[in-house]
Structure 1
Amino acid sequence: MRRLEHIFVRANGWALILILGAMPLIVGANIALRYLTGHSLSWADEAARYLMIWMTFVGAGLALRMGAHVAITNLQDALPGPGQKMLRGAIVLGLLIFFGFMVSVGIEYAERMQYQMTPALRLPFVYVYAAMPVGFALLILHLMLVAPQFITAGTFKGAAAPESDPAVREGANG
């Protein structure tokens, strides 16, 4: 199971790297072409905008995994140990419900936009709006993977936790 988690986190990270890498390449090529030839790519700004949307949703789960989202812990810190665990469990449950709701809303939006085309790329908007349900589904998966440790200890796994886990190293070596 830990090995699958490791593969999932690495794949999510590589998707984010590819998206982030494509954005400056497209924008840089557009700038270079504009100044060198006087012509620019008509679709570059649109592609960079849609890649940024995808990057936001694909990266949200990794940020959640590392505890990088904004958190106010005043109430949690004021509670005794068992109360803190109950509050963190309620937070996880609330997030799961919210993320599941957003997956369904995202699917509905994507379905509604499937016949409209983007102005420059001429892609169906379903590909842009699909970032929302995909991103929230990734958030659900990441939350489910970090929830036990978060509820019991109030900590997050961090980006390197699966690699530093002895069970993962043994699974990779054996």
Structure 2
Amino acid sequence: MRVLARFLGEALTWIVITLMVVLTAVVVFAVIYRKAGASLSWYDEVASVLLAWITYYGAALAALKRSHIGFEDVLLALPIKARKVAVLIAEALVIFFFALLAWAGLTILDILQGETLVSLTWVPVSVTQSVIPIGAILFIIAEILSFPAYWKDIMSGHFSEHPPLAHGETPADHASGEGAR
């Protein structure tokens, strides 16, 4: 799983970097055109699609690194049994949500068949909107691949943003500096 997670992380990193470079180039290109007194009819539409793609692929990368918004402080404050249940419920809800998003995205792709972008009529909308189910599936894969390390960290009383807790120490003790020394 670690090898697959590392490969997915590298692939997503390069996808996000590439999309950011392309978006930057499009914006710079559009600014130059506007300064020259011309305007690109496709700029707004393409820039918004690129931003959406960066958001979806970046979210999957964040999920793989467990860098998305979380509640580790709350989890670490729970007793171990409650923590186990809370982590499992949270993971199930996240995976359920993104499975639902993937299903809805696939449904929307069917509805959008034959539609094209307004400014670039040769680009199907289904291509631009394919990021919804693809991004959702990548997010699910990232959650599953990163779960074992996340489980180990949370069950051992620490997370990457928090130093490990000493035996008998609570997150509140650690934050106030009153923990075991």
| TM-score calculated relative to the size of structure 1 | 0.81
Max Rg structure: 2
For 1:89 and 1:115, the matched residues in 2 are separated by: 41
SS at match of 2:124: coil
The equivalent residue for 1:6 is: 6
Aligned to 2:23: 23
Q: Larger helix proportion, structure 1 or 2?
A: 1
User: SS state of the match for residue 114, structure 1?
Assistant: coil
Large movers: runs of 4+ above 3 Å: 72-75, 155-158
The one-letter amino acid of 2:94's match is L
Q: Is the 8 A contact 2:56 2:132 kept in 1?
A: yes
Residue 87 of structure 1: aligned partner: 86
Q: Distance in 2 between matches of 1:2 and 1:128?
A: 31
Q: Confirm or deny: 8 A CA contact 1:54 1:131 kept in the other structure.
A: yes
1:77 aligns with: 76
Q: What is the number of residues matched between the two proteins?
A: 157
The structural deviation recorded for 1:75 is 4.4
| Cα RMSD for the two superposed structures | 2.0
CA distance in 1, matches of 2:32, 2:159: 42
Matches within 5 A, 1:122-161: 122=121, 123-154=123-154
| Cα separation, 2, equivalents of 1:75 and 1:24 | 38
Offset at 1:68? 2.6
More moved, 18-27 vs 62-71:
62-71
Aligned to 1:53: 52
Distance 2:153 2:114 in 1: 47
Distance 1:51 1:97 in 2: 26
Cα distance, 1:77 vs. partner? 3.5
Letter in 2 for 1:14: W
C-alpha contact 2:65 2:146 (8 A) present in aligned 1:
no
- Relative contact order, CA 8 A, sep 6+: which one is greater? 1
| 1:149/1:157 contact within 8 Å kept | no
Q: Does 2:66 align with 1:67?
A: yes
Q: Could you tell me which amino acid in structure 1 is paired with residue 35 of structure 2?
A: Y
- Once residues 14 and 157 of structure 1 are traced to their aligned partners in structure 2, the CA distance between those partners, rounded to angstroms, is 23
Determine whether 1:99 maps to 2:103. Answer: no
Percent identity reads: 26
User: Any gaps of 5 or more consecutive residues in structure 1?
Assistant: 159-174
Q: How far off its partner does 1:84 sit?
A: 0.8
| Alpha-carbon contact 1:89-1:151 (below 8 Å) kept | no
Shift of 1:21: 0.6
